[in-house]
Structures are given as structure tokens and as C-alpha cells.
Amino acid sequence: MLSVSHLTKKYKKSVANEDITFMVEPGEIAVLAGPNGAGKSTAIKCIAGLLRFDGEISICGYQNKDIEAKRLLGYIPEIPAPFELLTIWEHFEFIARAYRLENWEDKAVELLDRMELRNLRNKLGKELSKGMQQKVSICCALLINPKVVLFDEPFVGLDPHAIKELKEMIVELRNNGTAIVISTHMLDSVSEFWDKVLIMMYGKIQAERTRNSVEESGEDLEKLFFSITEGR
Amino acid sequence: MKSILYMFTRTIKNSIVDLYYHPLRLTMYIFIILCVIGGAFSALSATKYMTNEVLDIHILKGAYTILIYIISIPVILKSVESENNFFKMSDVVNIFVAPISEKKILIYGVGRQLLTMVLFVISFLSYGSIAVKLFNISAFNALVLVLGIILMIILVQLVTMMIYSVCSGNLKRINIAKYIIYFIVFIPLALATVYFFNRGVSIDGFGETFSLPFLNYVPIFGWLNGLVFGIIFKNNIEIIIYSILIILFIICTITLFKISKIDYFEDVLQRTQSFYETMNDYKSGKITDSMMLGNKKIKVNKIGIGRGKGANTVFFKHITEASRRSRVIFLNINTVVLLITFALIGFGIKATDVNYDWKRLLTIFLMIVIGSYIQFFFSTIDDWIKELNKPYIYLIPENPFKKLIMASMTSLIKPFIDGVISFTLAGIVFGLSITDIIIGMAVYTSFGFVYNSANILTQRVIGLTGSRGIMVTLYMAIVTIMILPGVIIAVMMLVNMFVSGKFYLSIYAGIPVSIWNTVVSIIMYALCRNVLNNIES
């Protein structure tokens, strides 16, 4: 479970996130939606423990900067950053060793197959296209069997097959009880599987809806999104 | 062409206006201009302070030859591989697709590079005054030397255009061009080097070697040198011959350029793209492997990291990466530069006529000081810094201090290995004592620790958001503060030894330096133990 309480992130002159509070239960997919510059990526980075912040963030009961919390967290950055001189397979080996994983090879092979990377397993990071780098990044995050996964604009740069596969993986993760946060500015891309949506603007959560509440009220999510982001 | 000219002039104008908003950059430019003016005035008035100690002008000729080669060869060799970076990504996106002839675009690119290089050379004008003082030449001759360099830069740009015209992406022609250049440039240089060593290594020998007449016959490089020194020596025949040769070369190049069909976009595109990414990374303070390897093809022989658990996996990953970068782990360009520097110091001092004790002291002293200084420039590209650009090092569920130690382990081992190899070899070749070698290694290694910990502190203070300029300035300041106490103690010891006539014990002044450097580095590591807790730590 992921709990974010009163998260505020300030830079010298600007406030990137202001008093953000939300929870993501195990087996729930929460979508952070908003236009460019709304503060989605900053919030995700704070949750991943990459940035300093004010407030409380806990992952399965541990503070997000604790070693135990890190062990349970998978993070897929917006811009993939593979190691230029490691092969794809060595990326997995590195993650497995660094996270002290046991018997990870089968899972790694499965991820390779699903992302159509099997034939490229001995290719170096520097030789990969942007899309392939993104696939490697996804595989590395999922290899650790995380209990909480943060996806920052995960579909950008992926080919149609990988998008389809990733969507299936996300649903499988949910079914296995993983708490998932997806940041995106394209609501269409997550329309099939979202459970909770948090619409962000100017660093704040402006609206929060669950799938049930939207279905019950018949509210048009897209309209709500544009009414907030464009002031219509 | 009008549009290119418009863009070119607009860019210059906007860069000047932009200085208004960047006072630090403006101050730096003003400082450079003042240095140039100061240098010019100094050159004009230098003869007034002339002493009797004037160096042989042939040494100047030798140095000038080397300078010409250093400026020109990299540009020419890059042209053969279409690796010149005179196009920006914005040029590729906007100009390459515009209805403008490729020749005009090439002229624009080459012209911009020419301007940059000329401005760069002018910024070193103040060195002209040194030539005036050291070699007793007139201010006019100093000006001829500078104008010669500028002419050389223009000629190099013409060569570049010619290579682009002739090669035009054709692999066979590229290879032929390469061999021709190697033949023209390196064979005369190799012959000169052989002559230099056969004659006996000395400063006078250097001047004599690089004044050998056959070097003047080397196309462009030699002709230019012949023309410049023809003017300085007032040799009219040389002036006429080399002027004619250079003019003929210019005419031929322009004619060839006009009649040729060129197609270089594809070759330039990839290079520009990767250069653009590299520069973006560099400006934002990022260090990546691609930055150092460029387009070098990496052979993957053995797959797998093979060792490590938890934090120490980072160290073994670095070892795997190092084995891909170079065949011999830990030995790289830094080691080579260090060995060459030590050889130059050793042979240089050997050629002097001071007594044995002084030779030994000077050799080890200069090796320690210059070697540690060189290490400073290589220490900013350490493995652990590359980790900071990726999220993994922060996400790994291990103690941040452990991660820091393991991530910087290769950077701690590297100076030790370089020190052991370089000082041992230097000791054997130049007859240094075991004490000299051990203390030399210790001081050199301890400077490696300082640079490493100063790097860590710089990252802690500025983080990844800082600009490269600020980062380097802060890094230098931190290094200076860190090493100062050790250096002061060493200087005090040296003074004491010299006063008491025990100058032969001077090497022992290295002991407090190495101890202090190690202690202060350990303290710094401890203070920065949480730097890998998050990106902003």
C-alpha cells in the first residue's frame, strides 16, 4: 500500500507540489493525470525517494526512504537511463544482485519475451533505441516483484505491441495485489484499467475520482479534466 | 545564402545581447579582452626590458611547428570522418532541410568554425609578448606569428572543405584521404622525432630538429611555417616560394569545391546528433560513457557481472564496464598521459647540468606536482559520477554510505594503480630511490582521495541541478581548501630542510601531505555519507 500525506515539494522560487494527499491500496491503479508542468513527475520522484520533500510518504508501512521500502518499490522513470556499457541481460543481473534477489532468471526471461527483447539480450545499453531503453527500464523495475510500482509516462516511446503487453502487465500486477501509480497526460491510454484518478494542476490535486463514483454519477472524466486544466 | 547570413548575424547579435543577462560571462569576456590588449602592449614594449639571456630562435620555430600541427591535425582528421562539430542540431533540423545548396551550408559551417578558432587564437595573443621577451624578436615578428596561425586556421578550413568535396561520404575515398594525410603529416614528423632522439635529447636539439629544411616541404604545414619564418629571417626567396605555393593551394581548393558534387548530410547527421546529446549532458553536469567513447564500437566478449551482492554489485558493475572501455582495467588515457609526462620530466631534467641530488629531487618533485595536477583534470569523469544520472543508485535498497564507498571504489583504486605503475617505472628509468618512489606514490594516491571526496562534496552542495561552470569552480575551491594545510606543512618542512642544509631529505615533506590528504578525505566521505540517499542530498 502507498500512502502520501501532505506532500509538498518546493524549489528555490517555485512550489512544484503543494499539500498532496492520497492513498493507493494493494490491487489498485491510481492515475496522476494533468498537463505538462502540473507536478506529476515531481510527485512520482518524491514517492520514489529521489527528491527531498515535506510531508509523509509510506510504502507498505515503511517510510519511503527506508531500505525496506526501497526493496518493495519499482520505479519506471519518464526518461529511461540504461547503463551504456552493460548488456540488457546484465542490467537484470545488476538489479538482481543489488536487490539480493534469488532465482530471478526465469522471471527475467519471461520479461524479455513479453517485451520482445530476447534476441537483444546481449546488446549494450548504448546501442538501444529510446523505445528499447524504456522496455529495459520497465523490466528492471518489475524484476524485483515490487509491491508498489510507479510509472512515469510509461507508454511514451513504446511500440504498439509493447504498449499492449505493458497494459496487460499492469492489470496482472493489480490482480496480484500491487499498488500502482501511473503518471500520464493522456487519459485515453489508461482508460481501460484505472481505478482512481487524481487530476493535478499547478502542483495540487484538483480533483479525485474513483471508477465507481464516475460510473455511478455518469460524470464525463474528459470533460472534468479539461474543465480543470483549461478552466472551461 | 541571405537567410544563412541573416541567421548568422542574428545569432551573433543575440549572443551579445544575451551577455547583458549573464554578467559573469560578460566579465569573463572583458577579462579576456583586457588580457589580449595587455599582451599586445606588453609585446610592443617588451624589448625595453630585454635581458642578455635570449633563446635560440630555432627553438621558437620548433615550438611554432608543433603548435601548427596541434591546431590543424585534429580538425583535418575529423573532417575525413565527417566528425567536425561545426553544425548544431538546430542547423540539421532547420537548414539541412531548407532549399539551400549543400555547398553554401558547408561554407556557413566552416565559416563559423573559422571564426571560433580565430577568436580562440586571439585570446592567446598575450603569449606573443613571451615570444618577444624570450627570443628577442620584434613586435612586428610576433604579429607575423599570430597572423600565421590565423592563416593556418583558414587553410585548415579550406582543407576541410576540400576533404568534404572529395570524400563526400564515399568510404573508399575516405580511406585514401586518411592514408594520404597520414603520409603527408606523420612521416615527416616521425623522421624528425627519430633525428631528435639520435641527436641527443636537449632544448637546442629540439630547435635544430624542427628547423630541418625538409619539414618546410610538407604541404600547407611546412609551407606556412616556411612563409612565417621567411618573413622573420627576411628570406625573400622563401617568402616568394611559399606564398606562391599557398596561393596555388587556395585556388585549387576553391576550384575543386566549385566543380565538385557534394553530399555529406548523412555523415554529419549522426555525429551532430550524438554531439548534441553529449553537449546537453555536459552542460547539465552529467558525465556519461558515450561522452568519452563517442562512436567507438564496443566488443562484448564475456557476458555477465559475475560477482557482488547488495551495494558491492555497483563496484563489480564498474569493473565489467571498465573491461568494455579498455582491454586492461584501470589503465587508460590518464595512465598514458602520466607516463608521457613523467618521461618528459625525467628526460628534460636529465638534459640539464645540475648535480645528481638536485636532478633526483627536481625529478621526483616535478613528477609529484605535475602528476597530481594532471590527475585533477581526469578526476571529474569518475565512475560514481556517472551513476548519479541514473535512478538505480538511489533506489538500491542498501545503506547510502555503503553505496557511496562501493560506487567510488574504482576511483579510489585508480590513482593507486596509476601511482604504482608510473612512479615505479620512473624510479627504475631515472634512478630514483625506493623512498622517492613510495612517497611519490603515496602523495599521488592521496591526491586521488582528495579529488574524489571533493567531487562528492561538490555534488552534495550543488546536486545535479548545478551548471558545469559553477560545479568546476566550486570543485577547485574545495580541493584548494582541502589540500592547503598539508601543503603548508610540507612547505614549512622544506624551508626548514633547506635552511639547515638538509635539502636531500626534501622528499619527506611528502609524508605530511599524503597523511593530511587521506585524513581530510576520510572526514569528507563521512560528512557526505548520505549523498546517495536521494538526488538532492
Beta pairing, strands A148-152 & A73-76 = parallel
Taking CB atoms and an 8 Å limit, are B392 and A95 in contact across chains? yes
Q: Is the predicted pLDDT of residue B366 greater than 80, yes or no?
A: yes
More reliable by pLDDT, B164 or B316: B316
Taking CB atoms and an 8 Å limit, are A126 and B293 in contact across chains? yes
**Closest C-alpha among A25, A50, A29, A42 to residue A202:** A42
Give the amino acid at B258.
K
Label residue A133 by pLDDT band (50, 70, 90).
very high
pLDDT reported for residue B264? 63
Rounded distance, CA B118 to CA B135, Å? 24
Taking CB atoms and an 8 Å limit, are A98 and B293 in contact across chains? no
Distance from CA of A227 to the nearest CA of B (A): 34
Burial class from Cβ neighbours inside 10 Å (0-12, 13-18, 19+) for residue B299 reads: exposed
Q: Is the predicted pLDDT of residue B51 greater than 80, yes or no?
A: no
Domain boundaries, chain B: 30-83+97-261, 312-527
More reliable by pLDDT, A58 or B531: A58
Q: Is the predicted pLDDT of residue B218 greater than 70, yes or no?
A: yes
pLDDT reported for residue B137? 77
Q: What is the pLDDT of residues A137-150, one digit of tens each?
A: 999 999 999 999 99
Residue B489's CB is within 10 A of a number of other CB atoms, namely 16
Taking CB atoms and an 8 Å limit, are B298 and A90 in contact across chains? no
Residues of B with CB under 8 A from a CB of A: 288-290, 293, 298, 300, 303-305, 308-311, 313-314, 316-317, 320-321, 324-325, 389-392, 394-399, 533-537
Burial class from Cβ neighbours inside 10 Å (0-12, 13-18, 19+) for residue B63 reads: middle
Label residue B263 by pLDDT band (50, 70, 90).
low
Rounded distance, CA A15 to CA B34, Å? 43
Taking CB atoms and an 8 Å limit, are A98 and B310 in contact across chains? yes
Size of interface A-B (CB pairs under 8 A): 99
Which chain B residues are within 8 Å of A69, Cβ to Cβ? 397
Q: How far from B155 is each of B75, B114, B218, CA to CA, in Å? A: 11, 10, 14
ipTM of the modeled complex: 0.86
Mean pLDDT for the stretch of residues A168-183: 95
Q: What is the pLDDT of residues A194-205, one digit of tens each?
A: 999 999 999 999
Q: Is the predicted pLDDT of residue B504 greater than 80, yes or no?
A: no
Kindly state the cell numbers that stand for B61.
Answer: 620555430
Q: What is the pLDDT of residues B281-293, one digit of tens each?
A: 665 556 666 666 6
pLDDT reported for residue B140? 82
Mean pLDDT for the stretch of residues B316-330: 88
Taking CB atoms and an 8 Å limit, are A67 and B537 in contact across chains? no
Beta pairing, strands A179-184 & A29-33 = parallel
pLDDT reported for residue B265? 67
**Closest C-alpha among B357, B452, B356 to residue B405:** B452
Label residue A55 by pLDDT band (50, 70, 90).
very high
Q: What is the pLDDT of residues B291-317, one digit of tens each?
A: 666 666 777 778 899 899 999 999 999
Averaged pLDDT of chain B: 81
Exposure b/e, A50-59, CB count within 10 A at least 16 = b = bbebeeebbb
Which chain A residues are within 8 Å of B273, Cβ to Cβ? none
A116-125, B52-61, B267-276, B438-447: least confident range? B267-276
Taking CB atoms and an 8 Å limit, are A97 and B535 in contact across chains? no
Domain boundaries, chain A: 2-82+146-229
Rounded distance, CA A223 to CA A219, Å? 8
**Closest C-alpha among B348, B346, B371, B402 to residue B533:** B402
Q: Is the predicted pLDDT of residue B122 greater than 80, yes or no?
A: no
Of B82-86, B379-383, B411-415, highest mean pLDDT: B411-415
Do residues B159 and B79 make contact, with C-beta atoms less than 8 angstroms apart? yes
Q: Is the predicted pLDDT of residue B52 greater than 60, yes or no?
A: no
More reliable by pLDDT, B425 or B25: B425
Q: Which of A52, A73, A94 sits opposite B534 (nearest CB)?
A: A52
Which chain B residues are within 8 Å of A59, Cβ to Cβ? none
pLDDT reported for residue B442? 95
More reliable by pLDDT, B54 or A129: A129
Q: Is the predicted pLDDT of residue B213 greater than 90, yes or no?
A: no
Which chain B residues are within 8 Å of A65, Cβ to Cβ? 533-534
Q: What is the pLDDT of residues B451-488, one digit of tens each?
A: 999 988 887 777 655 566 677 788 889 999 999 999 99
pLDDT reported for residue A150? 96
Residue A138: CA count within 13 A, CB half-sphere: 31
Label residue B275 by pLDDT band (50, 70, 90).
low
Kindly state the cell numbers that stand for B348.
Answer: 628534460
pLDDT reported for residue B65? 84
Beta pairing, strands A196-201 & A15-24 = unpaired
Label residue A156 by pLDDT band (50, 70, 90).
confident
Q: What is the pLDDT of residues A91-129, one digit of tens each?
A: 999 999 999 999 999 999 999 999 999 999 999 998 898
User: Quick one: fold of A2-82+146-229?
Assistant: Rossmann fold (3.40.50)
Sheet with strand A2-10: strands edge to edge? A15-24, A2-10, A54-59, A62-63
Q: Is the predicted pLDDT of residue B393 greater than 80, yes or no?
A: yes
Can you spell out the DSSP letters for B198-237?
Answer: HH-SSHHHHHHHTT-GGGGGSTTHHHHHHHHHHHHTT-HH
pLDDT reported for residue B318? 93
More reliable by pLDDT, B164 or B317: B317
Instruction: Give bridge partners of residue A56 from the DSSP assignment.
Output: A5
**Closest C-alpha among B40, B42, B250 to residue B133:** B42
Q: What is the pLDDT of residues B328-351, one digit of tens each?
A: 888 888 888 899 999 888 888 877
Mean pLDDT for the stretch of residues B139-147: 82
pLDDT reported for residue A232? 58
Rounded distance, CA B416 to CA B447, Å? 10
Q: What is the pLDDT of residues A62-93, one digit of tens each?
A: 999 889 999 999 999 988 889 988 999 999 99
